[in-house]
Amino acid sequence: MGPRGRQSPSSPLAPSQGSCFFILFCLRLGASCPQACQCPDHAGAVAVHCSSKGLQEIPRDIPADTVLLKLDANRISRVPNGAFQNLPQLRELDLSHNAIEAIGPAAFSGLAGGLRLLDLSHNRIRRIPKDALGKLSAKIRLSHNPLHCECALQEALWELKLDPDSVDEIACHTSAQEQFVGKPLIQVLDSGASFCSTHRKTTDVAMLVTMFCWFTMVIAYVVYYVRHNQEDARRHLEYLKSLPSAPVSKEPLSPVP
């Protein structure tokens, strides 16, 4: 028998310690996944599934090596600046079927080079945030949003890479020109219509009105200047007339020798 207090190699504590380390390891892995979400590992790529979880905002504890992030069918109403800045490996982002109305200008900062697909369909977006989406090289889905068709939207679309599979479903919910309401946006633009023509006409009219006002001011100043000088000249003439004339000498002129 060995000394008292010394445990033999076959002590039952050894396997229990291994089990504790295994449980702690599993808990640590599980903590890296947002609560109520699943994080399956597909061929070494981390996918985070948070679909239909009643989320009202974007989770903050998303694993940094996430490649696919599904946040669809929630109640997210805004995408704040820097929401995904710590996800450099993100390739697909699904934000469809939410209640998104506001997107910060730096909402997708850090994703410009790697993101391949951004799904914003079925939301409440009225105006395209060009500063937020213009730098992305990803295909963007914008169908089924209450878009307001105007010049700013047309100019923003020129800088976006729209997903060809859903581009026909982008329609004008409201418009600066009522005849385009309810019509597919691509169909309207392909017909040769331009939302910027009205904008440019309004700008041209404003410029003409401004130039006319300046011209009127210049004419008014010239008229005032001329009249003021005429009044000064008249007063000076009256002053000269009021001066006594010099007396004329009556002495005979001496003959010239």
CATH of domain 47-193: 3.80.10.10
* Structure confidence by residue, pLDDT tens digits, 159-173: 899 999 999 999 999
Confirm if 75 and 99 have CB atoms less than 8 A apart.
yes
Domain ranges for the chain, please list them.
47-193, 196-235
Q: Please tell me which of 92-96, 109-113, 245-249 the model is most confident about, judged by mean pLDDT.
A: 92-96
Instruction: Give the separation between CA 30 and CA 173, rounded to whole angstroms.
Output: 43
pLDDT in tens, 80-101: 999 999 999 999 999 999 999 9
Q: What is the mean pLDDT of residues 34-46?
A: 83
Work out the pLDDT band at 135, boundaries 50, 70, 90: confident
Query: Which two three-digit tokens encode residue 251?
Result: 């002495």
